[in-house]
Amino acid sequence: MVAAVEVRDARPSDADALVALWRELSTAAGLPSRLPAPPSTAAAEVAVSKHLDDPLGRLLVVELDGQVHGMAYLRRTAISPLHDDTTVTVEYLHVSDTSRRHGLGKALIAEAVTWAEHESCVHLAVVAPAIAREANRFLARLGLGQAGVLRFANTHTVRRRLTAEHAPNLLALLSSRRSAVARRAVSSRAEPESAGK
């Protein structure tokens, strides 16, 4: 018997399943994730409700035999700041480990392509972690090539690192100022002695 696969827009009642999928996604490959921590079910319900009315974005789930086992977030945006063309970007594409090899990822991508065609978007982009070899192979088989690397961090972390990068320059400046002040102090003490000779 063939398993029934259905892709649809997420509903607030899917919040528990979406939080579980997010937890899986953020711990994929057993490495520490830079993704935000999983939200509470209540926060996820509110977020899903907002997506239902968003003309530029869709939060999808994919069901296998009536149970949610995957998700993807679609966004319609300009392909670049210099072009009029739009693209559909697929983000947070994830199928639960227990439900792989049933066509769920393909079904989510097919829905993204259908929506892109409906919205007259001639391009499709998919964000995938660089370390997710299986996911990247899957996307490559569908004709999607690598166009860049998306890096993600907390703004506090980036600010701290920026400050640390500039700190050596600041220390060098302060050191040179201290040296100049010390040289002036030494030379001002030496001047009265030489003036008295």
Residue ranges in the chain modelled with pLDDT below 70: 1-2, 28-33, 165-175, 189-197
Please give the Cα distance from 48 to 58 (Å, whole number): 9
pLDDT digits (tens, 9 = 90+) for 39-95: 999 999 999 999 998 999 999 999 998 999 999 999 999 999 999 999 999 999 999
b/e code 35-53 from CB counts within 10 Å (16+ = b): eeebeeeeebbeebeebee
Q: Name residue, tokens 């090899």.
A: 101
What's the pLDDT score for residue 153?
79
CB count within 10 Å of CB 64 equals 20
Length of the chain: 197
Distance separating alpha carbons of residues 73 and 92, to the nearest angstrom: 6
Print burial letters for 140-170: b (CB count within 10 Å at least 16), e (below 16). Answer: eeeebeeeeeeeeeeeeeeeeeeeeeeeeee
Q: Which CATH class is domain 5-152?
A: alpha beta
Note the pLDDT of residue 92: 93
- The CA angle 71-1-109, to the nearest 5 degrees, is 25
pLDDT number for residue 195: 54
Burial class (CB within 10 angstroms; exposed 0-12, middle 13-18, buried 19+) of 103: middle
The confidence score (pLDDT) of residue 176 equals 72
d(CA 139, CA 194): 81
pLDDT for 29: 56
Structural contact between residues 5 and 107, judged by C-beta atoms closer than 8 angstroms: yes
- Collapsing DSSP to helix, strand or coil, 185 comes out as helix
What lies within 8 Å, CB to CB, of 13 at 6+ separation is: none
Q: How far, in Å, CA of 78 to CA of 121, rounded?
A: 9
Give the C-alpha distances (Å, rounded to integers) separating 114 from 7, 45, 60: 12, 26, 13
SS3 of residue 30 by DSSP: helix
